[in-house]
Amino acid sequence: MDAVTPPVTVTRHGGGQGKVGVIAIDFAPVNALSKAVRQGLLDAVRTLEADPDVAALVISGGPGRFIAGADIREMSQPPDAPFLPDVVAAVDACAKPVVAAIAGAALGGGCEIALACDLRLGGPKALVGLTETRLGLIPGAGGTQRLPCLVGVAQAIALICEGRVLKAGDALALGLLDEVVEGDLLATAIARAPGMPKRRLSALPVPARDAAAEEAAAARARKAAKGVPAIDEAIRVIRAAGEGDFASGLALERAAFLALRESAEAKALRHLFFAEREAGKVPGLEGVAPRPVEAVAVIGAGTMGAGIAMALADAGLAVTLIERDAEAAAAGFQRVSDLYARQVKSGRLTDAQGAERRARVTATADWGRLSAVDLVVEAAFEDMAVKADIFRRLDAVAKPGAVLATNTSYLDLDAIAAATSRPQDVVGLHFFAPANVMKLLEVVRPARSAPDVIATALALAKRMGKQPVVAGNCDGFIGNRIYALYRRHAEVLVEDGTSPQEVDAALEAYGFAMGLFAVSDMSGLDIAYAMRKRRAATRDPAERYVAIADRLVEQGRLGRKTGAGWYAYDAAGAKTCDPVVEAVIAEARAEKGITPRAFSAGQIQRRLLAVMANEGAKALAEGIALRASDIDLAFVHGYGFPRTKGGPMWAADQMGLRAVLTEVEAAHAAGGAGSEPAPLLVALARDGHSFADWQPTQLGGQQP
């Protein structure tokens, strides 16, 4: 049996008493700080410090790597020594100079280890940052105390609270790297280490304080934080740097870190961290290679099509925009150009970057251009006849093996695929507006889609920096299916006695950036109206139907674009409550003989969370969603569900599924058919299980 290679090894370079001890970390894939790595580092530092022939130490993560942070899996397990502060303290206390050779990511705890060294050398692809706030934490091994010694308190607040990751040049400019080495990084570190003077940040003073800059940085951080507890704690602890001795600052930091680690927000963010890594694992795709994609086309150059074209161009792909005629094609290209100009003006892109990306996009009315592309995304009007006609035309012109994708939000993928002679090449790519910004991409799998087509969609999502969630084919897929129930029950609550503004206030208090009715106004009430009319013929008569939104649309109130929807809007876009809406609601109540009753913010939150989780349970049992965490990702990345609540399924688990079931039963009594408790929810609640216990085997469902 082969011996297992330890994750940390020690070698000695040079001769005599001037040797350099190299501590090499090799723990695939990213050198996460697992217990084995922490123990190996601690042992290596102590061994080399005790060796009289070793004059200096170098810590290396190997080619293209350093240490990418904590092993997040261990955060949910009982603490196990040695702890990261022990390792960092050993580096800091080492009597010999220590060099960090950073060839890749030095993030979180990896950055804290580097900050404990005397010299930080980076390769051109080095990445440096304290990213703990992204997981609802603060640095817990000295990062909040050492970083201010390098960059000052105000800059440290900005870097830590934003969880900013600095590329090599930016890290050098701020002083987090002492040098960027273009050649052999490890050889350079070994050459520099002997005789290098010690420069421990723990012994340096914090630069002169600037109270105004610190307050401005803190205000920006709090505004962006939206109530995340870790941000206030980070600000408090960073500001303590240099105010007492270094040890007291470390103790303050560690206490705050340990408290945050057990917080509901941190647990929710860890859940999402793992959910994002699981989402791309689709049963049946193991070992399936994606098709090559370099040239792509988008059919339809409206708002959505232009955004999709930008998302593809930003990923380095050549994009052809197809429109019905030359005039529409020119307008579509101008739309893309304007969007890039806006990004340049805002500073998100340089002039050169904007020009380079815009040059990847061409627009034409010539469908013959489609014969050369590897993938087509149809982004036309949400109408089955329109889309079926496009796919019939695509069938005639697209090359064999080209992936044919549709951006439909609701329509039947199998029916769209049936318009072609190659249904195995068809997939749904449901982007969310604005498509070049929103992270979610629903990958919708029709019944006959080939495995390598799904693999291609997932690879494309990764290339675009999107978060893919694979969905089965049904009306609305995962996101819009659940969102439709969520919206319907919000309208039931309004008809029963609350108001749109009270619902929105409750949702914003829960953590949403905008309430549901304000979002509807922004999107346009006519979109949901068209969906309801399309479903009218098949609607169960036992379903409670709230017609308030229909009446608003029929009065020409389509939302912000018409200056009125659920709210009224002034010329500057500010919203106010509207007596016209109040009158429509009162009339709807009177027609049904409803005596309005009050709902608290907590009641509104629990009801809407419960109906989301219940519909999510139905999607799971039907195999529309592979796992509960995929539903959470869809709502966090596509519908504004607060990250610190972990998504609707995670939040339901925290509420307790028995309590959720009780709320669903009340929602069913109020909403009628379509709101019945999901058998999966009933079974899990009865047996004391959670949605997290659901383990998928395939799209198509599984019994618990």
Catalytic sites, residue numbers: 70, 109, 112, 132
Helix (H) and strand (E) counts for the chain? 28, 19
**Overall residue count recorded for the chain in this entry:** 704
What DSSP state is assigned to residue 292?
P
Q: What is the rounded CA–CA span in Å between residue 124 and residue 509?
A: 44
Alpha-carbon separation of residue 41 from 72, 85, 466 (angstroms): 18, 12, 35
Distance CA 129, CA 164 (A): 6
Q: Where are the alpha helices (DSSP H) in 207-325?
A: 211-225, 229-239, 246-261, 264-278, 303-314
Quickly list DSSP for 405-432: EE--SSS-HHHHHTTSS-GGGEEEEEE-
**CB-based contact 544:578 (threshold 8 Å):** no
Q: Which two tokens stand for residue 516?
A: 């549901």
**CB distance 172 to 122 below 8 Å:** yes
Q: Which has the closest alpha carbon to 585: 475, 679, 490? A: 490
In sequence order, what are the residues at sequence separation of 6 or more whose Cβ sits closer than 8 angstroms to the Cβ of residue 636? 272, 642, 643, 646, 647
In terms of Cα–Cα distance, which of 34, 10, 12, 45 is closest to 24? Answer: 10
Report the distance separating Cα 119 and Cα 98, nearest Å.
7
Distance CA 342, CA 117 (A): 42
Determine which helix (DSSP H) or strand (DSSP E) holds 649, and give its type and residue range: helix 648-655
Amino acid present at 419: A
Cβ atoms 614, 677 nearer than 8 A: yes
At residue 678's C-alpha, the angle toward residues 674 and 683, to 5°, is 165
Contact 164, 127 (CB under 8 A): no
Question: By the 8 A CB rule, do 481 and 618 touch?
Answer: no
Give rounded-to-5 percent helix, strand, coil for the chain.
50, 15, 35
Count other Cβ atoms within 10 Å, centred on residue 586. 12
Q: Could you give the count of Cα atoms lying within 13 Å of 637 in the half-sphere of its Cβ?
A: 28
d(CA 572, CA 565): 15
Lookup: tokens for 77: 């397990």
Token pair for 171: 């890290």
CB atoms within 10 A of CB 303: 15
5: which 2 tokens? 């290679």
| Distance from chain centroid for Cα 518 | 23
| Distance of alpha carbon 414 from alpha carbon 388, whole angstroms | 11
3-state secondary structure 493-519: HHHHCCCHHHHHHHHHHHCCCCCHHHH
| Alpha carbon 366 to its chain's center | 37
